[in-house]
């Protein structure tokens, strides 16, 4: 038996790879979930077209998220903070001038991510123990797992698609106008070292008979149809596999190596009852902070400084000299 810790993208990807190799897998997860009442009314919205949604339904979806030019204080999903819930209780830590947070949710932080999908270039990971070439087949596997909305464009020179048949989302009127302007000046921009293309996101676009994004404009608050990739959807698929078992309400504290493999220790999230599990191998995929916490405790490394490498992205403000018109729609 192989134990995988965590149900975020890394956890379900690891479990799927093991299952594809004929291994037996048990995935252990804290598994905090969306409140049943909210899940029920989201299911009601997903069963109807956006035109049938009531102001009350949309209002509940946006509950607690006040988006403004200053950003948002905390990214919620369907009006709920469940992706962050119980972390202070089970993973206490002090944070100063850092936005990174752990998650005990089923699906982890994929519940609230922006779904951006760009690979690293060689210079991005210079000094790391991996190379862009070595990651290529893994990028292909990830794109196959999540799906990818993208176009063939100039970005491919630097960021390969790693996907054979991407489907493209429609652009807004503003984005279409902006892209046309950049294409008109492509050569001058390239000479200045500026290269551009359409955003790549793990959002399902309609393709043939396959349904996809309906452009309801509620991406920030949570897609009622689940078209933004969430690893919980992969978890549901894995649960249909005969060699897979899912164990929720489990918080892992540390791992010990044994002659037969590994022994894992933790407790039940609700009852706090301790548990131990033995396995041939244990794969830690609990997120940056929880995984580091488990590793340090497993080796009795306390009062140690750990450096986290973060890939920084930034938004650059631009002004259009022409109105896009009716941007709210």
Q: What is the pLDDT of residues 58-72, one digit of tens each?
A: 999 999 887 777 777
Q: What would the pLDDT profile of 271-307 be if each residue is shown by its tens digit? A: 999 999 999 999 999 999 999 999 999 999 998 888 8
Angle between helix axes 231-238 and 9-20 (nearest 10 degrees) is: 30
pLDDT value at 175 more than 70: yes
Q: Rounded distance, CA 197 to CA 216, Å? A: 23
pLDDT confidence band for 124 (50 / 70 / 90): confident
Q: Rounded distance, CA 264 to CA 176, Å? A: 52
How far is C-alpha 75 from the geometric centre of its chain's CA atoms?
13
pLDDT value at 20 more than 90: yes
Q: What is the mean pLDDT of residues 263-272?
A: 96
Paired with 32 in beta bridges are 105
All domains in the chain, ordered by first residue: 1-113+217-298 (3.50.50.60)
Could you identify the residue written with the tokens 């292909």?
A: 140
Token pair recorded at residue 3? 């134990």
Contact in structure between 168 and 205 (CB atoms under 8 Å): yes
Helix (H, G, I), strand (E, B) or coil at 63: coil
Could you identify the residue written with the tokens 């752990």?
A: 102
pLDDT confidence band for 33 (50 / 70 / 90): very high
Q: Determine which helix (DSSP H) or strand (DSSP E) holds 254, and give its type and residue range.
A: strand 250-258
DSSP string, 66-81: --BTTB-SS--BTTB-
pLDDT value at 322 more than 90: no
Token pair recorded at residue 209? 């008979």
Size of the chain, expressed as the number of residues it contains: 329
pLDDT value at 329 more than 70: no
Q: Determine which helix (DSSP H) or strand (DSSP E) holds 25, and give its type and residue range.
A: strand 25-28
Q: What would the pLDDT profile of 72-119 be if each residue is shown by its tens digit? A: 778 899 999 999 999 999 999 888 888 788 999 999 999 999 999 999
pLDDT value at 202 more than 80: yes
pLDDT value at 310 more than 90: no
pLDDT value of position 164: 82
Q: Which residues of 277-294 are buried (b: 16+ CB within 10 A; e: fewer)?
A: bebeebbbbbbbbbbbbb
Q: Rounded distance, CA 183 to CA 149, Å? A: 20
pLDDT confidence band for 319 (50 / 70 / 90): confident
Cα three-residue angle 79-80-83, rounded to 5 degrees = 140
Q: What would the pLDDT profile of 204-263 be if each residue is shown by its tens digit? A: 999 888 899 999 999 999 999 999 999 999 999 999 999 999 999 999 999 999 988 999
Average pLDDT, the chain: 92
Specify the higher pLDDT residue, 190 or 124. 190
pLDDT confidence band for 321 (50 / 70 / 90): confident
């Amino acid at each position: 038996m192989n134990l995988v810790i965590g149900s975020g993208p890394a956890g379900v990807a690891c479990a799927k790879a093991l299952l594809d190799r004929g291994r037996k897998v048990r995935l252990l997860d804290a598994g905090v979930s969306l409140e049943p009442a909210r899940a029920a009314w989201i299911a009601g919205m997903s069963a109807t077209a956006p035109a049938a949604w009531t102001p009350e339904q949309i209002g509940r979806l946006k509950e607690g998220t006040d988006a403004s030019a200053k950003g948002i204080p905390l990214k919620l999903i369907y009006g709920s903070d469940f992706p962050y819930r119980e972390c202070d209780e089970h993973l206490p830590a002090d944070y100063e001038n850092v936005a990174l947070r752990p998650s005990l949710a089923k699906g982890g932080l994929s519940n609230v991510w922006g779904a951006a999908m760009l690979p690293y270039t060689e210079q991005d990971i210079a000094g790391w123990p991996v190379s862009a070439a070595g990651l290529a087949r893994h990028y292909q596997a990830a794109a196959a797992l999540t799906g990818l909305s993208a176009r063939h464009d100039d970005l491919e020179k630097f960021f390969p698609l790693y996907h054979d048949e991407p489907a493209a989302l429609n652009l807004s009127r503003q984005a279409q106008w902006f892209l046309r302007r950049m294409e008109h000046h492509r050569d001058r921009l390239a000479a200045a070292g500026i290269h551009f293309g359409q955003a790549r996101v793990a959002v399902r676009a309609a393709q043939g008979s396959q349904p996809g994004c309906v452009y309801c404009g509620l991406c920030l608050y949570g897609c009622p149809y689940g078209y933004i990739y969430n690893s919980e959807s992969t978890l549901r698929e894995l649960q249909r596999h005969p060699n897979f078992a899912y164990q929720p309400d489990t918080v892992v504290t540390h791992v010990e190596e044994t002659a037969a493999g590994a022994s894992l220790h933790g407790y039940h999230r609700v009852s706090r009852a301790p548990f131990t599990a033995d396995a041939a191998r244990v794969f830690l995929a609990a997120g940056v902070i929880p995984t580091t916490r488990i590793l340090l405790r497993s080796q009795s490394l306390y009062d140690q400084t750990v450096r986290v490498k973060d890939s920084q992205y930034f938004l650059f403000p631009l002004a259009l000299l022409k109105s896009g018109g009716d941007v709210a729609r």
